[in-house]
Amino acid sequence: MRESLFLFRLIPPRADFAQTLTDAEQHAMDGHTEYWKELLAAGRVVVYGPVADPEGVWGLGVLRGADRAEVLAIGEADPSVRAGVTTFEVLEILGGRTG
């Protein structure tokens, strides 16, 4: 089965989120970090990390998946999403290639 590449954007609740985390938000983000480390180790993630957007930091991931539904399920299982701290969007990278 051929896997496609998908852009995953983790959307924080506010522009200054990275600077103003509450204890509960920090706990959710710690779970998020561990979750993505596991996805990387399993070969599901090509690259991930925070983006220094002047409008506010957000998270980027590029994932391998059979289809969009599979990647949406990965996003829904993210501890920060499950905790209601962040939301996300997923877009397919058409004809994406990795080196």
Q: Determine, yes or no, domain membership for 64.
A: yes
Q: By the 8 A CB rule, do 35 and 78 touch?
A: yes
- The number of distinct structural domains making up the chain is 1
Q: 79: pLDDT confidence band, cut at 50, 70 and 90? A: very high
**Sheet arrangement for strand 45-51:** 45-51, 58-65, 4-11, 87-93
The CATH number of the domain holding residue 18 is 3.30.70.1060
Q: Tell me the whole-structure pTM to 2 decimals.
A: 0.92
Tens digits of residue pLDDT in 7-48: 999 999 999 999 999 999 999 999 999 999 999 999 999 999
Tens digits of residue pLDDT in 57-68: 999 999 999 999
Residue 70 is part of which domain span?
4-93
Predicted pLDDT of residue 83: 98
Beta-carbon neighbour count of residue 80 at 10 Å?
24
Q: Determine, yes or no, domain membership for 99.
A: no
Average of per-residue pLDDT across 1-12: 91
Predicted pLDDT of residue 20: 96
Q: Determine, yes or no, domain membership for 98.
A: no
